[in-house]
Every structure is written in structure tokens, then in C-alpha cells.
Structure 1
């Protein structure tokens, strides 16, 4: 019996010593469309929450992936409608994202171009 208890204690100790998850970051070049789009909330909102949220159409210039980000989602960047932007953005993949949020955080590094 003592041997089983000792084995369980050693096993539990080893499990508790796992490394903490670490955020990973990389830089990406984004093209921002000049016009605001209205999108539904992610995840779906409660019945009394707004259904149409203003967002920017974003294209990752390396992968050609297109997606939307809400207007304040790129930290340090203020979108002006009517202008097309090329940005360098720091993308941080969160190791422990919030339950109701995105797994990525975006921070402006540089505005490469701003055209009408």
C-alpha cells in the first residue's frame, strides 16, 4: 500500500512540474482595405448585444489569407476610412487566450504606406 501511495505522489509531483506555456510572436505585413465592413461578433453575442460590428478587411501579404479585425484590434493603429494601408504588425499567439477572445494579439510596428 505504501508503495502505491509513494508512486502516486511521485507521479503527481512530476505532473505539477510541467513548463508554463509561452506566448509566441512574429512579424507580418498586412494590407488593410480602405472601407469599413460590418461583421457579426466572434463568438456569437448575447441577444441584447450589437449584431453588426465595424471591422477592417485585412490581407496577410505573405499567406494571402483574408480576414477581418475590429477597428481597435491592432494596438497603436487608428484606421481612417478611405485610406488603404500596408502595415508591419507584431502578431502574438497567446499561450493561454481568454475563453471568450481571440488567440492572437496585434500590435502596430510600422505604417509602410497610406494611400487614398
Structure 2
């Protein structure tokens, strides 16, 4: 009888230990979000947040963040420090994320200077099919994936030419007003 009780106790402990691991799919972490979005390929071409987590925070290393953060209203031109909850999704969609991100708190939101420059990939035959992340032309406003308007100043013709003739094109930008970015220079390969 004592062996039977011991066996039941061991089985119960194993069961509760394994269940408690599966029942605790939540983790709260700090996430730093950069002041601009980058072009990337997920389910097709898209704009993604640039983030830092854990040991990356405060370094020059930024990672593409392909998920949404529930409750977070991103505004370009600001660097954010967020407290987020990561919840494991038990049955994620095929090719979908297995983690749901929920905003717990905006720890800080710091505006970057309008003089800060940043690089965004505008065309890449290596990354995208079709290769251009740009919509519009010389006669209409250029935009990045119909989301971010580009003020190309006196570089519009040069940008148009590079998008037509080069395989890899990036732009160096500064923030302007109303979700617009100003093109400062063009890099191509």
C-alpha cells in the first residue's frame, strides 16, 4: 500500500510539474523600439519595427520585429522603452508567430532630433519580389510601401533613375513632419 501511495505521489508531482510549465506561458520583458521602421520581407514586403531586447538594449544592434504589440501606438521619430508581456500561443497559425505581445507599460518615449539620419532599404533583388519597396513615381509622391511619404527634395530624378537601373538601393533620411521622411542621399550597388 505504501508503494502504491508513493507511486501515485510521484506521478502527481510529475503531472503538476509538467502542467505548471505549460500553464505559465507568460513572460514580461523590456523592449526598446527604434525611431523608424525598416523594410523587410515577412508575408511579402512590409515595414517592421526595429527592436532591442535583453542584452541588446543600448547597443548598436537592432532586430526586425515582425509581430504587432497589442495596445502599442507607434509614432515615428521617438525611441521607446516598453514593458511587454510575451504570451505563448498554443495553436499558432501556420507560419504565424507563436508569441503574442501585449503592452504592459510605456516606460519612456524620447523624441530624436530631426538632424538624426537613418538608412532604409528601398529596393533589393535579394530580399523582395518585386524588388522595390517604393510606390509612386516622379509625377506622384514617393512612398515606402504606401505607408511612409518621402520628401525627396532635389533628389527625385536621381531616385527614379536608381530605382530603375540599380539592383540594391537604400536611402539616408531624416524625420520631417506628419509621418514624412526627407531623403538626404541615395546609396546603390
* TM tier relative to shorter chain: 0.5 to 0.7
Displacement of 1:99 after TM fit? 1.4
Displacement of 1:23 after TM fit? 6.3
Q: Distance in 2 between matches of 1:97 and 1:23?
A: 17
Displacement of 1:66 after TM fit? 4.5
Matched residue, 2:107 = 112
Over aligned residues, Cα RMSD in angstroms? 2.1
Matched residue, 2:45 = 52
Which SS does the other structure have where 2:84 is aligned?
A: strand
Contiguous gaps of at least 5 residues in structure 2: 1-18, 112-189
Aligned residue pairs total 87
Question: 55, 65, 71: which is aligned to 1:69?
Answer: 65
Contiguous gaps of at least 5 residues in structure 1: 1-18, 46-50
Question: How has the CA–CA distance of structure 1 residues 23 and 100 changed in structure 2, closer, same or farther, with 3 Å as cutoff?
Answer: farther
Matched residue, 1:100 = 95
Question: How has the CA–CA distance of structure 1 residues 26 and 113 changed in structure 2, closer, same or farther, with 3 Å as cutoff?
Answer: same
Greater RCO, CA 8 A, separation 6+: 1
- Residues 82-106 of structure 1: CA distance to partner in whole angstroms, max 9, x if unpaired? 1000000000122222213011110
Which structure dedicates a bigger proportion of its chain to helix?
2
- Residues 50-94 of structure 1: CA distance to partner in whole angstroms, max 9, x if unpaired? x4201100110x242843224x70000011111000000000122
Q: Distance in 1 between matches of 2:39 and 2:29?
A: 24
